[in-house]
Amino acid sequence: MVRHRNSGYYARLFLNGKELWRIRKKGCDREGTGRWWRHTKVGQMFFSLHARIFPTGLVCAAALLLSPGAVLLSQDAGADAKTAKTPKATGSDGDKRRELHLYMKGRFLFQKHCVDCHGKTGRGNGPFAAELETKPRNFRTGLFKFRSTPFGRLPVKEDLQRTIRTGISGTAMPFFKEISDEDVDALIVYLQSLSRKWKDPALAAEPLTIPPVPEWFDEEAVAAAHAARGGTRFAQLCALCHGAEGKGDGQGAGRLMDAWNEPIVPADLSVPRYKSGESPRDLYRTIATGLNGTPMIGYADLLQENEIWELVAFIRALGQDAKPGAIEPQP
């Protein structure tokens, strides 16, 4: 960017022939801009910084990237703002500008909604974290419990969208149904910047196919028979941690640690509120994929589809029955 001795500005930004903003020699003038940052606190703060605090060139560069399709013109003797034409950005350039736009917006939203628990740098060490029984996620590790991908893999975008939208039952993680889809996408872009694991293609995977709920779920007598068979399998695979009645009081429950070196308590399945979701398909997904960073492995490769559904039926019966012990496992 060229500083012209006889010019009143360092540079000016145009979009489709319309001036969005101009950079004076002693700061930034935002008049004329209709972009979103003018109406947000972060935008006003960012574009109001004096050149002594924030180099003007950096402000210009960031603003250019935040405005897909915009052109930045240095003040030149023959430049005519009214006739300035916007060059066509390539697909690659447009993608990068869009990505930076989402990153900056996501960072702002993270600072607004998430830092009290997850911390300023996403390490799960916010000011409220020490008081929480279920510790906030450390996003730097790149481990996510609730996914539709195989055990040990990263979640897909839809998994993160679901967690942000619906929250996590029984924890301090609320739901965010009021924010826009773009805000959710922006948060995801920012979260994915916090760990290098997102750049490892070996950790990416397609989500597992979650089959539809079997018809026998709606038939009480038939569902009870399937739940009884699921109870037998539960005793073999799950009771050591979750306990015979699913109360999270199994023999191994007191000695469990997670990947973040925090004590972890198995879920009390007798309470009909599940962190990963309360529908039958949510439970199927959790059993099939497991919970990364915990002793709960995925059973997609170990159990047949109908066997997983029988476990789901048994777990749901635990939460619905006043006396879970009344569900007698079949020998």
Rounded CA-CA distance 6/60 in Å is 20
pLDDT tens readout for residues 236-263? 999 999 999 999 999 999 889 999 888 8
Rounded CA-CA distance 73/153 in Å is 45
Cβ contact 231:314 at 8 Å: yes
Binned at pLDDT 50, 70 and 90, residue 88 comes out as low
Binned at pLDDT 50, 70 and 90, residue 19 comes out as low
Residue ranges of the domains in the chain? Answer: 9-88, 92-203, 215-326
Which one is predicted more confidently, 329 or 253?
253
pLDDT tens readout for residues 193-250? 999 999 999 999 999 999 999 999 999 999 999 999 999 999 999 999 999 999 999 9
Q: Which of 95, 97, 89, 109 is nearest to 43 (CA)?
A: 109
At the second CATH level, the architecture of 92-203 is Orthogonal Bundle (1.10)
| 191 pLDDT higher than 90 | yes
HSE-up of residue 163 (Cα within 13 Å, Cβ side) = 19
Q: What was the pLDDT predicted at 94?
A: 77
Q: Which of 38, 46, 44, 97 is nearest to 67 (CA)?
A: 97
| Average pLDDT over the chain, rounded to an integer | 79
Neighbours of 310 (CB within 10 A): 25
Burial class (CB in 10 A: 0-12, 13-18, 19+), 225: middle
pTM for this prediction? 0.70
pLDDT tens readout for residues 157-166? 999 999 999 9
| 278 pLDDT higher than 70 | yes
* Percentage with pLDDT > 90 across the chain: 59
Rounded CA-CA distance 253/37 in Å is 50
- Domain covering 215-326 assigned CATH 1.10.760.10 in the classification: yes
Evaluate whether 92-203 and 215-326 have a shared fold. Answer: yes
Rounded CA-CA distance 27/65 in Å is 19
